Amino acid sequence: MNISVVHTVFFSPTHTSLQIADAIADGLGASECRELDITYEKPATDILIERGVAVFAVPVYGGRVAETAVERMQAIRGNNIPAVIAVVYGNRDYEDALIELRNIVRGQGFVPVSGGAFIGEHSYSRPDRPVAAGRPDKNDIDVAFSFGVKTADFLKSGSDIPAELPVKGNFPYKVKGPKTPQTPITVPELCTQCGYCIEICPTQAISLQDEIVSDPEPCIKCCACVKECPNQARIFDTPFTDYLFKNFSSRREPELFYSWK
């Protein structure tokens, strides 16, 4: 197979999934790369990918594919073309996210050929309680690149793609717990009301009223506003940060899966 074009499809509020998608695409070595960024909105019309290879990269929330990503991927369909799938989790566990992504992508008309679970800095990581801080790092990017190279070598070999990509995970998928109303809050004395957090919120959950506030219903707790506020005026204090720091600070490495032996 001649890999002429790679389509990267990613949902990446804090840019970790984007980094992995780009590294895999670089490894695939196509002459052209087309981005389908579904972080901020669902495509206005359905998109059909008819040639090349697709790379899907999404974050893991609670052991599942982020629900907003699932919703927005519904607009993207493939014409039986190969797909590389990647989930990015915050050093705890990806549980059923990779098998869920595989099944979603397959249902959208793609043929999953390889898959990986990569590590990104946890949304709840804080400077004084780091959880996978700074990841994906150089080693993660190198692994993702090599993963892309190995997948490209297989596709270029002309071998038939096996019918099933075996990955870790269970079906039925893990049941998520109830959504909590807690959201990031604003420190008024630090906030300049520049509006940057409003701009980068992937679900339009933030607005300027008397001060910057988050609507708990659409908020997905990605903490992009916390990590990227230029004045550190957004904070999200949750006991889960202490739990993660205590139990999941040891480094975990990417796990890779291939449809061929």
Convert the pLDDT of each residue in 31-88 to its tens digit.
Answer: 899 999 999 999 999 999 999 999 999 999 999 999 999 999 999 999 999 999 999 9
| Model pLDDT for residues 157-178, shown as the tens digit of each residue | 999 999 999 999 999 999 988 8
Q: What are the DSSP E strand ranges found in the chain?
A: 5-10, 32-37, 47-49, 53-61, 64-65, 76-78, 81-89, 110-119, 185-186, 206-208, 212-214, 234-235, 255-258
Average pLDDT score over the chain: 96
Whole-model pTM: value is 0.96
CA distance 53 to 30: 9
Contact indicator for 4, 31 with CB cutoff of 8 Å? yes
Q: Which of 103, 122, 144, 147 is nearest to 226 (CA)?
A: 122
Q: Which of 86, 7, 10, 113 is nearest to 54 (CA)?
A: 7
Q: What pLDDT is stored for residue 176 in this prediction?
A: 87
Q: Which residues pair with 33 in a beta bridge?
A: 6
CA distance 182 to 241: 14
Question: Is 128 exposed, middle or buried, given 0-12, 13-18 or 19+ CB atoms closer than 10 A?
Answer: exposed
The tokens describing 176, both together, are 């998520």
Q: Band the pLDDT of 1: cuts 50, 70, 90.
A: confident
CA distance 28 to 154: 10
Q: Band the pLDDT of 2: cuts 50, 70, 90.
A: confident
Question: What integer is the mean pLDDT of 12-28?
Answer: 98
Give the strand pairing for 5-10 and 53-61: parallel
Q: Band the pLDDT of 141: cuts 50, 70, 90.
A: very high
